[in-house]
Amino acid sequence: MAHDTDLETGPPLEAAQPGDETPERLAEALTRASWRLRRSERAELAPHGLTFAQARALRVLVEHGPMRMVDLAETLEIVARTATARVDGLEEAGFVQRTPDPDDRRSIRVSATSDGADLISRLAAQRRRSAESLFARLGPSDRSELLRLLMLVTEAV
């Protein structure tokens, strides 16, 4: 199996020719674009020992505010046990905290700490810079068309 970096440093894709738009070629190009965006996020996460999955969970908590573990798992579309493992690492790093749910003594609420919110802010700024660099060669109409097409292929089935 290829490592993530193989996608970034593999041989360059040759210029597309008419009729060359195979699903495999489209998937490879999209994968490479995605990994270019994620490379800078990985560099930001590495000193904290966090994964992309943990960063996504933290982003949800920053955006939606404190939530019960079961609600976090549902939002992330993962099982509760997996959400617990992600939160464990985030809590150990000081990016989230658990508190009793004031409405249900049996439940625990998870919320981002100020350090967690600061990290998400830095990641968002880095993502913005990476995206600006990646899409710099596209004009407004090309960006609009790319967004339309990506939204089309990523719609829930």
Domain range list for the chain: 41-154
> Which tokens sit at 105?
């003594």
* CA dihedral for 116, 121, 126, 127, sign (positive or negative): positive
Cα 93 from Cα 34, distance rounded (Å) = 26
Cα 90 from Cα 86, distance rounded (Å) = 6
pLDDT beyond 80 at 67: yes
pTM of the full structure: 0.74
Cα 149 from Cα 82, distance rounded (Å) = 32
Q: What letter represents residue 43's amino acid?
A: A
Higher-confidence residue of 108 and 12: namely 108
Residues of the chain above pLDDT 90, percent: 54
**What value does the mean pLDDT take over residues 116-143?**
92
Cα 99 from Cα 115, distance rounded (Å) = 17
Q: Return the CATH fold of 41-154.
A: Arc Repressor Mutant, subunit A (1.10.10)
> Which tokens sit at 15?
């210029």
**Which has the closest alpha carbon to 30: 134, 142, 144, 138?**
134
Q: How many Å separate Cα 156 from the centre of its chain?
A: 18
